[in-house]
Structure 1
């Protein structure tokens, strides 16, 4: 398997928990899981695959720790790296901006040279709109820990199954 690094921003701990679950299921060591609020962007250089996670705040905003980190990340040459994005959102209260943070990261990293992986079919999700939805699919894994936590494990497993075809 290629060297995988997980980078997340989490305010309430939900996205951190998802990052840890993904790491456990992929066999990613704890030293390869990074909180973007306390990590230097050069840490990404060590990895072939970057799994990037952010919750969505307010009406479609990135989790705060991502602001500086993403600016620095998009300035790097990510050629040869695979990027897959995951995030948490609230489809009931913020159905018009559900998991927009996934789409923001995706859009900001366009032109960085990376290859994206891990798109997810929109079937089974209840939301009005999302910046993370491109051409009828989510560009990453959206999770709703507030309203659909019973779906999280199944969704993570399906996402990882698809990713393994790319990252192994």
Structure 2
């Protein structure tokens, strides 16, 4: 299997920083992270293994112009993936959220990425337990787990590295075919 492609949407830069940390931890197994505002669908589809990351903005929204982001992002990119064939691709997701300030819509944007790649035929790996988070509701839970790694940079930044390491240990074999 080839390198892992890492794509992210970001507004404040926190998701970009997490994507860069993931790439650093993966070393030669991954290419440099790419902001989706600078990517084409072909850029993304050339990879058989992907890590996609997003923050949640506004009222549980993807980053993008209508959510008040300063530039285009996932909101504008995901519709371009609709109808694409991602069968045979393995995808892992990560999302950033604030469980204290936005516990009623905690990491809701991640479900939009999940639904899009599942509908396109991809296999999603790296579901993450809800234990260790305090929130009212999240749309990004399937079968009692988050659809990807959850990072709360606002309230639990001290746990980010440990969570990244555990998640990457889990997903790397599926992404690299090892």
Interval containing the TM-score (normalised by the shorter chain): over 0.9
Work out which of the residue numbers 117, 124, 145 in structure 2 matches 1:137.
Answer: 145
Residue aligning to 1:25: 25
Q: Which has the higher strand share?
A: 1
Residue aligning to 2:61: 61
CA 1:135–1:31: 2 relative to 1, 3 Å: closer
CA 1:3–1:126: 2 relative to 1, 3 Å: same
Residue aligning to 1:122: 130
In the superposition, the TM-score normalised over structure 1's length comes to 0.94
Residue aligning to 2:40: 40
The alpha carbon displacement at 1:29 in A equals 7.5
Q: Which 10-residue stretch deviates more, 29-38 or 102-111?
A: 29-38
What are the residue-to-residue correspondences of 1:56-135 with 2, within 5 Å? 56-64=56-64, 65-135=73-143
In the superposition, the TM-score normalised over structure 2's length comes to 0.89
CA RMSD between the two structures: 1.5
State how far apart, in whole Å, the 1-side matches of 2:107 and 2:133 are: 11
Stretches of structure 1 that go unaligned for 5 or more consecutive residues are: none
State how far apart, in whole Å, the 1-side matches of 2:30 and 2:128 are: 26
Q: Number of matched residues?
A: 168
State how far apart, in whole Å, the 2-side matches of 1:23 and 1:54 are: 15
Specify the SS of the correspondent of 1:37: helix
The alpha carbon displacement at 1:107 in A equals 1.7
Specify the SS of the correspondent of 2:118: coil
